[in-house]
Structure 1
């Protein structure tokens, strides 16, 4: 699954208003972080994560690894924040950032 430039632009617009809901810090990519990211993507489809670890290369490596593990697509990476997308199998209109955006 690869996002088109148009989809990425649309998701970045939605993501701009989102606050980070997951923080990856000193312990790095723990199993709990992976499970939480998986659950959040299932609920919200589009999530913002904050990385408070090492330098730029470490952040990029952790973001790539997390995307692979939870089968998410990286939409955008700016500074300490990354925006991830994964289509939900059964999106909840009350939780999905994409569906809520469409109805607001």
Structure 2
């Protein structure tokens, strides 16, 4: 679990990145989750666009993805979600210390 200070830091980092995935009419499938997991391992912080035809609310989609792959939902704003998971091989993002 990340703190609110760490979440704010991750939100500031996410401002500069573009969405790399779109969740569409196929919904949240295993193949989609595997792609997200691989991207999180490589980048640690990703942004996903939730399309209107996905049948999912962005908050609901974020919760399902986070539960399925054990990542942190950083932000849901409009139809975009931001996810974070610390890389096991090469951590790149240094989070502020917990107090």
> Which TM-score band applies after superposition, normalised by the shorter structure?
0.7 to 0.9
Q: Is the 8 A contact 1:42 1:88 kept in 2?
A: yes
Give the TM-score normalised by the residue count of structure 1: 0.81
Q: What RMSD in Å do the two structures reach over aligned CA positions?
A: 2.0
Query: Deviating runs (4+, > 6 A) in structure 1?
Result: none
How many residues matched?
94
Bigger share in helix? 1
**Alignment match, 1:89:** 88
Judge conservation of contact 1:50–1:80 (CA < 8 Å) in 2. yes
Compute the TM-score of the two structures, normalised by the length of structure 2.
Answer: 0.85
The alignment status of 1:16 with 2:18, answered yes or no, reads no
Deviations 1:32-88 (A, max 9, x none): 110000100111011111111459963222211111111100010001101100011
